C-alpha cells in the first residue's frame, strides 16, 4: 500500500471508513469491478460473480446531474449487473451504499476532491464510456446509489435501491381521504402504488377525518391516510412509510405539512422539475413532532 493510500485511509471520518479511498478523474483499468475483486460483506451485499448474473440494468448518467432510472428494485439473493453509461462530457460514477455512508463519503469528497479509489461496488466512467459493476444483493433493505464526485451528489445525482426480502408479506392497505378533484392527491396515490402499496380512496375530503384521527391542524395537507393505525398526512414519501411500518414508533404518524414542490405527487416536469427543501415529520402522541427525514436540504 503506497503512502498516499495509507494517508487517505487514516482520515478521521468514522462513518466513511469503509469508503475512505475516494475518487478522482483517473481510474486506470477500471471498467466496472476491479480485476482482482476483494469480496468483503457490506450491509448492501457483496461483490458478485458475472457467471451468476441473470439481469442487467442500464443507468444513464448526464451532466444535468440525473440518473435514469433513479430507482432500482432487486430481489434478495439476486446478482445484478449495473451498467453505468456516461452520456455527459464530464466524469461520472455510481457508488452503492447506505444513505448514511454515501452522505458521509460525499462530505469527504468535498474536502478532498482529488482522492482516488477502486471498490467492487463502484463504477467510474469517463465521458462517452460505460462501466459495469456486478453485485450480489444478499441483504434485504433500502439502500442508495449516487455519483460522489465533488458537487454531483449535492446537486441531486442519486437514486434509491430496494432489495426485497424473500417471502416478504404484503403491505397493509392504506385508506385515503381526499377531495375528488385533487390532482396532486391522485399523483401521490400513483407514487404509492408504484412502490407496491394498495390504496383505498374516499373522495369525501380530509378535514373531518384529520380531526377524527386527532392530527393537529398545523400538520395539515390536501389528503389524509391511515395505515396500520398510523396517520399519513400529505405528500409523504413511500420510502418513509415503509420505514415507519418497520420501526413501529410510538407516534400518531407521519406528515408533510402543506404541499411542497418536489415531494411525491408535487414533482416532475409540470413543476419545472423544481425541488424545494422539505421535511417528513414524525408526529408524536402529545402533538409535538421531530424531523423523520429531510429532502433536498444541503
- Tens digit of each residue's pLDDT (9 = 90 or more) over 175-201: 999 999 999 999 999 999 888 888 999
Mean pLDDT over 271-278 rounds to 94
**238 within some domain:** yes
Evaluate if residue 11 carries a pLDDT over 70. Answer: no
Q: Are 224 and 99 part of one and the same domain? A: no
Q: What is the per-residue pLDDT across 244-262, written as a single tens digit (0 to 9) for each?
A: 998 999 999 999 999 999 9
d(CA 52, CA 163): 17
Mean pLDDT over 266-293 rounds to 95
Position 297 confidence tier, pLDDT thresholds 50, 70, 90: confident
In the chain, what percentage of residues exceed pLDDT 70? 84
In the chain, what percentage of residues exceed pLDDT 90? 67
d(CA 166, CA 174): 23
d(CA 263, CA 242): 16
Q: Are 85 and 122 part of one and the same domain? A: yes
**107 within some domain:** yes
Position 216 confidence tier, pLDDT thresholds 50, 70, 90: very high
Q: Are 143 and 205 part of one and the same domain? A: no
**169 within some domain:** no
Evaluate if residue 1 carries a pLDDT over 70. Answer: no
Q: Are 117 and 183 part of one and the same domain? A: no
What pLDDT, on a 0 to 100 scale, did the predictor assign at position 115?
Answer: 67
**59 within some domain:** yes
**264 within some domain:** yes
Q: Are 63 and 180 part of one and the same domain? A: no
Give Cβ neighbours of residue 108 (< 8 Å, ≥ 6 apart): 11, 13, 16, 19, 20, 22, 115
Q: Are 44 and 137 in contact (CB under 8 A)?
A: yes
Looking at 140, 164, 188, the residue that finishes a domain is: 164
Q: Are 97 and 121 in contact (CB under 8 A)?
A: yes
Indicate the number of domains in the chain. Answer: 2
Q: Where are the alpha helices (DSSP H) in the chain?
A: 3-9, 99-111, 183-194, 207-212, 238-247
Q: What is the per-residue pLDDT across 118-153, written as a single tens digit (0 to 9) for each?
A: 889 999 999 999 999 999 999 988 899 999 998 899
Number of H helices, E strands in the chain: 5, 17
The one-character DSSP state at 210 is H
Looking at 144, 164, 184, the residue that finishes a domain is: 164
Q: Are 128 and 8 part of one and the same domain? A: yes
Q: Are 15 and 97 part of one and the same domain? A: yes
Q: Are 192 and 100 part of one and the same domain? A: no
Listed residue (136, 160, 123) closest to 75, CA to CA: 136
Q: What is the per-residue pLDDT across 147-179, written as a single tens digit (0 to 9) for each?
A: 999 889 999 999 999 898 876 567 899 999 999
**99 within some domain:** yes
Q: What is the CATH number of the domain that holds 252?
A: 3.40.30
Position 48 confidence tier, pLDDT thresholds 50, 70, 90: very high
Centre a 10 Å sphere on the Cβ of residue 215 and count the other Cβ atoms it contains: 22
Q: Are 151 and 178 part of one and the same domain? A: no
Residue with cell 400518531: 252
What pLDDT, on a 0 to 100 scale, did the predictor assign at position 34?
Answer: 42
Q: Are 12 and 147 part of one and the same domain? A: yes
Evaluate if residue 203 carries a pLDDT over 70. Answer: yes
Q: Are 106 and 202 part of one and the same domain? A: no
Evaluate if residue 237 carries a pLDDT over 60. Answer: yes
Q: What is the CATH number of the domain that holds 137?
A: 2.60.40.420
Q: Are 295 and 280 in contact (CB under 8 A)?
A: yes
**70 within some domain:** yes
Mean pLDDT over 97-122 rounds to 83
- Residue 190: give the domain boundaries: 174-295
Looking at 164, 192, 212, the residue that finishes a domain is: 164
Q: Are 46 and 188 part of one and the same domain? A: no
Amino acid at each position: 500500500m503506497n503512502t498516499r493510500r495509507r494517508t487517505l485511509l487514516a482520515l478521521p471520518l468514522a462513518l466513511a471508513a469503509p469508503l475512505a479511498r475516494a475518487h478522482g478523474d483517473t481510474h486506470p483499468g477500471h471498467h466496472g469491478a476491479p480485476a482482482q475483486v476483494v469480496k468483503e460483506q457490506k450491509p448492501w451485499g457483496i461483490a458478485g460473480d458475472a457467471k451468476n448474473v441473470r439481469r442487467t440494468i442500464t443507468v444513464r448518467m448526464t451532466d444535468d446531474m440525473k440518473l435514469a432510472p433513479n430507482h432500482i428494485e432487486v430481489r434478495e439473493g439476486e446478482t445484478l449487473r449495473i451498467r453505468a453509461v456516461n452520456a455527459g462530457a464530464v466524469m461520472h460514477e455510481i457508488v452503492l451504499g447506505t444513505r448514511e455512508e454515501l452522505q458521509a463519503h460525499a462530505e469527504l469528497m468535498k474536502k478532498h476532491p482529488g482522492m482516488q479509489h477502486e471498490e467492487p461496488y463502484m463504477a467510474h466512467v469517463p465521458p462517452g464510456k460505460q462501466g459495469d459493476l456486478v453485485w450480489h444483493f444478499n441483504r434485504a433493505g433500502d439502500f442508495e446509489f449516487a455519483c460522489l464526485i465533488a458537487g454531483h451528489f449535492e446537486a441531486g445525482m442519486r437514486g434509491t435501491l430496494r432489495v426485497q426480502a424473500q417471502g416478504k408479506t404484503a403491505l397493509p392497505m392504506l385508506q385515503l381521504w381526499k377531495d375528488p378533484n385533487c390532482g396532486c392527491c391522485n399523483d401521490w396515490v400513483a407514487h404509492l402504488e408504484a412502490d407496491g402499496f394498495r390504496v383505498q380512496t374516499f373522495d369525501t375530503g380530509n378535514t373531518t377525518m384529520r380531526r377524527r384521527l386527532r392530527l393537529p391542524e398545523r400538520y395539515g395537507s390536501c389528503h389524509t391516510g391511515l395505515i396500520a393505525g398510523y396517520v399519513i398526512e400529505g405528500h409523504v414519501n413511500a420510502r418513509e412509510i415503509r420505514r415507519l411500518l418497520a420501526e413501529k414508533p410510538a407516534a400518531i404518524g407521519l406528515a408533510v405539512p402543506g404541499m411542497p414542490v418536489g415531494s411525491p405527487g408535487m414533482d416532475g416536469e409540470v413543476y419545472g422539475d423544481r425541488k424545494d427543501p422539505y421535511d417528513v415529520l414524525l408526529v408524536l402522541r402529545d402533538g409535538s413532532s421531530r424531523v423523520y427525514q429531510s429532502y433536498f436540504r444541503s
